[in-house]
Amino acid sequence: MSDSTTEPASAPPESADSAARKLQIALVDDDRNILTTVSIALQAEGFATRLYSDGETALKALLDNPPDLAVFDIKMPKMDGMELLRRLRAQSPLPVIFLTSKDDESDEEAGLELGADDYIAKPFSLRLLVARIRAILRRAEPLAGGSALASTSEPAPASLIRGRLLMDPARHQVTWQGEPVSLTVTEFLILEALAIRPGVIKSRNQLMDAAYPDDVFVDDRTVDSHIKRMRRKFKMVDPGFDAIDTLYGAGYSFTDG
């Protein structure tokens, strides 16, 4: 199988204006059947697709010309999905969904800790994948200043300041003590839910509702993995960071000062 970037040969020609209005989804998988099937399904839903059959080729393309969202398989030649996500996250908060083996929970947890926004176990439902893609894009809209799915009439959300924390949803920017902290869409929404009411304990279910309002089948370890990764990111800026507290059996809270 070729390792080059491909576009679906069966896709109908489009005008430049039509293509510009479509959200772009990058699919990275070494299984040609999956690439073709998922691409056709997404195109039928109004998305434009970009296909890559290995992580090495995909990484350069995703950084040089970022799509709106990417879907990664884990097991691929040259560079697997885990390494692709690790390298991508070093430079980009691009929303990512992982496709994982159904019986390998360690893949799911590792993917979330590396910064994936969501995961879907194989074999998967195309309807579920499309729903998850739309849900993440809706969550990303206010953080990216709007998109093809957003309403242009809504005002930009105000910045949130809590002690040393500054969150700017309109620009998807977070700083701690004036230093930037790069968060994924899901991490941003979880932190925002905590920081809105400092000191108030939010259960895992409440945080899942904030970060996954349209999704189902999201379990406790998903939130725990996102929290763990967020703490690591803040500790890279401030080794003494302790503003996200854990109350075992109850949930999490944000307190600064």
- What CATH number corresponds to the domain at position 87? 3.40.50.2300
Look at residue 26 in the predicted model and tell me its pLDDT: 96
- Whether 176 and 249 share a structural domain: yes
Mention every residue, 6+ apart, whose C-beta is less than 8 A from residue 201. 247, 250, 251, 252, 253
- Whether 200 and 236 share a structural domain: yes
Give ∠ CA 33-35-38 in degrees, rounded to 5.
100
The answer to which of 41-45, 126-130, 210-214, 227-231 has the lowest mean pLDDT is 210-214
DSSP state of 54: S
Look at residue 254 in the predicted model and tell me its pLDDT: 95
Label residue 143 exposed, middle or buried (CB < 10 Å: 0-12, 13-18, 19+). buried
Q: What is the mean pLDDT of residues 183-210?
A: 88
pLDDT (tens digit, 9 = 90+) per residue, 81-95? 989 999 998 888 899
**Cβ contact 120:97 at 8 Å:** yes
As given in the structure block, the two tokens for residue 250 are 């109850």
Domain extent for 184: 160-254
Q: Residue 21: inside a domain, yes or no?
A: yes
Number of independent structural domains in the chain: 2
- Whether 79 and 116 share a structural domain: yes
What is the rounded average pLDDT for all residues in the chain?
80
Look at residue 257 in the predicted model and tell me its pLDDT: 62
- Whether 109 and 183 share a structural domain: no
- Whether 108 and 217 share a structural domain: no
- Whether 84 and 51 share a structural domain: yes
- Whether 130 and 211 share a structural domain: no
